[in-house]
Amino acid sequence: MNGLSVSELCGLFCCPPCPSRIAAKLAFLPPEPTYAFIRDPEAGSDSGAPESGGGTSSLRARASPPTPSPETRWRLHLTERAEFQYSQRELDTVEVSFAQSSRGNKIGCMYIRCVPNSRFTVLFSHGNAVDLGQMSSFYLGLGTRINCNVFSYDYSGYGVSGGKPTEKDLYADIDAAWHALRTRYGVSPESIILYGQSIGTVPTVDLASRYECAAVVLHSPLTSGMRVAFPDTKKTYCFDAFPNIEKVSKITSPVLVIHGTEDEVIDFSHGLTLFELCPKAVEPLWVEGAGHNDIELYSQYLERLRRFIGHELA
């Protein structure tokens, strides 16, 4: 779509879409869960039943899991849909748990100790239509290659996380993950790198605009929901969803923006705009010829991350 027609403009101003509808249309496609959390019998649990819908029904998968006691310990179980199964050595590096969001949802979290005594931990907010089970092998490889541990979480309604995905829940979900990383694992803000990919840049920007951290990585970011749907949008309307463009200038940490020049989902111009608005933006990575889902396949991707984390932040 190249611009807004008269009928579209009339529709927007006479019957403006609510942010949740824009959000649902543009962003939220939870996959069938590819993993489960199983109570660890070695931790004294009275049940080995999994907490997930990786089994029988999507309805059960979306149900909020019961409140775990402080003593409850969980193990990760990947289903065949995850497409990747851990060796025992890799499994030993993965710790899973629940965090409680301010909106009442239990949020599934995953902490991967990729590198002993690593200086930084990446708090990763993943893209759409994937869950922790599908992302886990990528996290293992990424953390090992950039010398960081990785902490990630599933949005409300994704994987084992309870509730339904909404914009407000995105912000509450990352808050819960941030506080879990800070309190449960004792990671200080100056050791946390916030990393958001695609829709994951929305909670990442929101959190980074409120908390200072070691650094921020925005991978294929969007400026706002309206600007994705209607590229000629010049201002942020009250009913716009995901208004990164209004928050990114408040980020006081160093920001690395990564975007493919041939992105077919979120146009390259979104990355350019956000880069220009970041007060402490570092040299960006514009990957020539890359689309929305293949930037990681280009050698420049790891090279730029290594230089940013290993040298520029040091």
Indicate the domain borders of the chain: 20-312
- Residue 65 is encoded by which pair of tokens? 């899991």
Residue 309 DSSP code: I
pLDDT tier at 51, thresholds 50, 70, 90: low
Query: Would residue 47 show up in a list of annotated catalytic residues for this protein?
Result: no
Annotated catalytic residue within 161, 198, 224, 253 = 198
Query: Would residue 292 show up in a list of annotated catalytic residues for this protein?
Result: yes
Annotated catalytic residue within 136, 263, 267, 270 = 263
**CA-CA distance, 111 to 80, in Å (whole number)?**
21
Residue-level pLDDT at 88: 78
Q: Mean pLDDT throughout 265-272?
A: 96
pLDDT tier at 38, thresholds 50, 70, 90: very high
Q: Mean pLDDT throughout 256-266?
A: 97
Helix (H) or strand (E) run with residue 234 in it: none
**CA-CA distance, 88 to 77, in Å (whole number)?**
12
pLDDT tier at 69, thresholds 50, 70, 90: very low
pLDDT tier at 47, thresholds 50, 70, 90: very low
pLDDT tier at 50, thresholds 50, 70, 90: low
Query: Would residue 5 show up in a list of annotated catalytic residues for this protein?
Result: no
Residue-level pLDDT at 82: 86
Which of 13-27, 28-42, 167-181, 275-289 is the least confident region?
A: 13-27
Residue-level pLDDT at 92: 84
- Residue 277 is encoded by which pair of tokens? 């608005």
Q: Mean pLDDT throughout 269-287?
A: 98
Identify how many contiguous H helices and E strands the chain contains and give both numbers. 11, 11
Q: Mean pLDDT throughout 37-45?
A: 75
Residue-level pLDDT at 57: 29
Residue-level pLDDT at 18: 52
Please state, for a pLDDT cut of 70, what percent of the chain lies above it: 82
Looking at domain 20-312, its CATH architecture is 3-Layer(aba) Sandwich (3.40)
Neighbours of 32 (CB within 10 A): 13
- Residue 258 is encoded by which pair of tokens? 């990564």
Alpha-carbon distances, residue 256 vs 41, 173, 209, 286 (angstroms) = 43, 23, 15, 11
Residue-level pLDDT at 210: 98
**Residue 145 clears pLDDT 80, i.e. is over it:** yes
Q: Of 132, 282, 108, 231, which Cα lies nearest the Cα of 180?
A: 108
pLDDT tier at 160, thresholds 50, 70, 90: very high
Q: Mean pLDDT throughout 206-234?
A: 94
Annotated catalytic residue within 126, 259, 270, 292 = 292
**Residue 313 clears pLDDT 70, i.e. is over it:** yes
DSSP three-state, residue 95: strand
